[in-house]
């Protein structure tokens, strides 16, 4: 009974076929890699360019229009129902696919998801979360830019959204959740951060460990919560500084022949480190708080990056990330109607 088997199979991932800066070939190769793991996909893009004919588990849904990085995303999403990301989001909201993935414009993906998918009833505002590949373990950092301002009630919900994702998708039991602030004491921070701290310190269902500072990204907390403005600036500072320091060391290593010889000897040992900092390794950011999982991959993703973005979305489906998020919000009395200021 193939019909029966299909009906009970896991939902497919809706993948935007446009927007991969390294080209259709790379996107298609990434999709094939994810399909090899048994993940079903519906890819919205030009069949001729994608060349995915006959790929097991992959259905190409023809789409010609798409929203580019440099376009105004909200206007684009509102006026172009045929754009690939809008159609992929509709596919998810109509239940034909179970999660949305794009490596195209972050703004367009967020706009298409926010307009096309529904928020969880218990959630006030979705938040964009990055999974930082830090030693000794991954850190979920949110909000990195879905909202430019946040009230205490939003930060409180971000804490629960991040904790649920960390537990469900990254498999971390009792993830340690912290607020990013300008000092570890509970009195430190803007009035909004201080208010959120007080509420989280008294909340149930969450392992809140207090404030962390910018020096404490690695090894202190599993989830770090911030408003979207600070989060975006801080994430880019982290990425920019890592690149700058690595570059300075590389330049110094080439400054004379002896150092250059040393650099050659060290090269193989740097492999795992390079892999660690490779944006392809995490699959990108996730938009939390909607009724279906949404993964925003890097535009510069290689095939590994595309495959990992799809795998991350599939893992969110498989691990029931969304229902577990709702359950955690209820357990912590952090649903929309239970939070202060939620008239």
Binding site for a second copy (CB under 8 A): 134-135, 145, 148-149, 180-183, 189-191, 193, 213-218, 226, 228-230, 232-246, 248-249, 252-253, 255-256, 258-259, 261-270, 272-273, 276
Nearest to 181 by CA among 171, 191, 173, 172: 191
Taking the complex as a whole, the smallest distance from the CB of residue 156 to a second copy amounts, in Å, to 18
Q: Which is nearer to a second copy, 187 or 337 (CB)?
A: 187
d(CA 121, CA 323): 12
3-state secondary structure of 44: strand
Taking the complex as a whole, the smallest distance from the CB of residue 262 to a second copy amounts, in Å, to 3
Q: Which is nearer to a second copy, 284 or 293 (CB)?
A: 284
H or E segment and range at residue 131: strand 127-132
Taking the complex as a whole, the smallest distance from the CB of residue 75 to a second copy amounts, in Å, to 13
Taking the complex as a whole, the smallest distance from the CB of residue 10 to a second copy amounts, in Å, to 36
Question: What is the Cα gyration radius of the chain?
Answer: 21
The two three-digit tokens of residue 151, written as one number: 């009230």
Taking the complex as a whole, the smallest distance from the CB of residue 153 to a second copy amounts, in Å, to 18
Write the burial class of residue 133 (CB in 10 Å: 0-12 exposed, 13-18 middle, 19+ buried): middle
Q: Which is nearer to a second copy, 10 or 276 (CB)?
A: 276
Contacts of 29 (CB under 8 A, 6+ apart): 303, 306
Taking the complex as a whole, the smallest distance from the CB of residue 229 to a second copy amounts, in Å, to 5
Nearest to 162 by CA among 341, 333, 328: 328
Asked if 133 and 115 count as a contact pair (C-beta separation under 8 A), the reply is: no
Q: What is the DSSP letter of 120?
A: P
Taking the complex as a whole, the smallest distance from the CB of residue 161 to a second copy amounts, in Å, to 20
Q: Which is nearer to a second copy, 28 or 193 (CB)?
A: 193
DSSP 230-277: HHHHHHHHHHHHHHHHHHHHHHHHTSSHHHHHHHHHHGGGGHHHHHHH
85: which strand partners?
none
Q: Which is nearer to a second copy, 201 or 273 (CB)?
A: 273
């Amino acid at each position: 009974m193939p019909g029966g088997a299909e009906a009970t199979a896991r939902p497919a991932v809706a993948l935007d076929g446009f927007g991969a800066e390294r080209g259709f070939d790379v996107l298609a190769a990434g999709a094939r890699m994810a399909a090899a793991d048994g993940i079903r996909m519906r890819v919205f893009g030009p069949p001729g360019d994608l060349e995915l004919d006959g790929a097991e588990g992959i259905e190409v849904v023809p789409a010609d229009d798409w929203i580019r990085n440099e376009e105004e995303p909200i206007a684009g999403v509102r006026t172009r129902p045929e754009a690939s990301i809008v159609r992929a989001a509709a596919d998810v909201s109509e239940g034909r696919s179970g999660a949305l993935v794009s490596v195209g414009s972050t703004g367009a993906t967020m706009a298409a998801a926010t307009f096309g998918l529904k928020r969880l009833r218990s959630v006030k505002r979705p938040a964009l979360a990055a999974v930082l590949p830090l030693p000794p373990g991954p850190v979920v950092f949110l909000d990195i830019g879905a909202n430019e301002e946040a009230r205490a009630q939003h930060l409180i919900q971000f804490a629960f959204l991040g904790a649920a994702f960390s537990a469900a998708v990254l498999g971390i039991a009792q993830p340690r959740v912290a607020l990013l602030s300008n000092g570890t004491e509970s009195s430190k921070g803007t009035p909004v951060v201080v208010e959120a701290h007080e509420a989280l310190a008294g909340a149930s269902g969450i392992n809140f460990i207090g404030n962390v500072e910018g020096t404490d990204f690695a090894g202190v907390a599993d989830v770090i919560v911030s408003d979207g403005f600070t989060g975006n600036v801080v994430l880019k500072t982290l990425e920019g500084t890592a690149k700058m320091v690595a570059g300075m060391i590389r330049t110094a290593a080439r400054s004379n022949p002896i150092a250059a010889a040393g650099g050659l000897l060290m090269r193989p040992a740097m492999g795992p480190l390079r892999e660690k900092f490779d944006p392809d390794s995490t699959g990108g950011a996730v938009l939390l708080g909607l009724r279906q999982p949404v993964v925003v991959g890097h535009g510069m993703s290689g095939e590994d990056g595309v495959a990992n973005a799809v795998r991350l979305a599939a893992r969110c489906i498989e691990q029931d990330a969304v229902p577990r998020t709702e359950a955690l919000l209820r357990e912590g009395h952090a649903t929309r109607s239970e939070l202060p200021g939620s008239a």
